[in-house]
Chain A
Amino acid sequence: MDAVDRAIVNQLQGGFPICERPYAEAATKLGLTEDELLQRLDSLLENGTLTRFGPMYHAERLGGALTLAAMKIPAADFERVSGIVNGFPEVAHNYAREHAFNMWFVLATEAPERIEQVIGEIEKAAGYRVYNMPKLEEFYVGLRFTV
């Protein structure tokens, strides 16, 4: 990654214009041509530096419901429960974390009432309590990684 790639990553994490030729406009600000910016973005996406280039949608505002849930699973039973949890299509991400609360997953459903149902189904199948931790308020969501 050279200085140009770094400038693209640092300066284009938001604010991409909505106009007829947005890449040309963004390129000018970076001192590049439209073609150079397009090629750079293609490479950054291909080599995995960027996961995506485009609109970042606010999941809850698209409709449906979203929550974060946690479980406390004994080490010996972790893999079995992980398999059960991951088997639910409503589970979007699931992370193992170092803590007594060692399994953390995001549930996303079209119907809001389905969240409670899925939690009940997971508790029944896994045999452990699911702690529902929906966000009550959001103070900041943004990623300003600099390289």
Chain B
Amino acid sequence: MNAHAILAHAGFEAATVLDAADRRIVLATQAGLPRVSRPYHAIAEQLGVSADEVMARLRRMLETGVIRRIGAVPNHYALGYRANGMSVWDVPEERIRDLGCKIGALDFVSHSYHRPRYLPEWPYNLFAMVHGRDRAEVEAKVTQIAVLLGDADRGHAVLYSTRILKKTGLRLGS
């Protein structure tokens, strides 16, 4: 698959159209909610709209998946999850959806994605991020995934991060 085809294939993840009022709410909340008794009212006041409108738009963004969830975003290093291994798997393409969902349902997997191969250098098409307190814990969890995949596991690797070279985060520009 060439790069263009990959992008076209990925097009199912088409952007949901947000209007200007939605974007203002995203900008006002992407760094977090105010920690006051009535946070949505505080945002509404800041934006000059009604609290009902802010809450209705947030509910809609939650329903349509623009917002994945609302709550605490933990720093996994601070919680003691210091080892993060990107496990990558070569599995049969025709079974990937079923296998990806099974792996994604494991409570120690934070992300599970289908990504393109680059043969022969990169045979892996299923990615699952595994977090643990140390490498031994990550290894044990990777073994659990291998058992779950059975003969669908035609090869795998675990790529540990050794250094953060850059981390600015994803932000919607104003």
> What is A's interface to B at a CB cutoff of 8 Å?
8-9, 12-16, 18-24, 34, 38, 41-42, 44-45, 47-64, 66, 68, 70, 72, 82, 85-86, 91-101, 103-106, 108, 110, 112, 115-116, 119, 131-147
Contact = CB atoms under 8 A, between A and B. Distances in A.
B130 interface: no
Q: How large is the interface on B (under 10, 10 to 19, 20 to 34, 35 or more residues)?
A: 35 or more
A116 B3 contact: yes
A50 B72 contact: yes
Contacts of A105: 165-166
Contacts of A50: 72-75
A103 B115 CA distance: 16
- Give the 9 A-B CB pairs with smallest separation, nearest first: A140-B104, A139-B100, A14-B69, A94-B165, A54-B33, A139-B104, A139-B112, A137-B114, A94-B166
What is the interface of chain A mostly: helix, strand, loop, or mixed?
A: mixed
A62 to B, nearest CB: 5
B41 interface: yes
B37 A21 contact: yes
A79 B109 CA distance: 31
Contacts of A54: 29-33, 70, 73
Contacts of B74: 9, 13, 49-51, 143, 145, 147
Nearest to A110: B173
Nearest to B33: A54
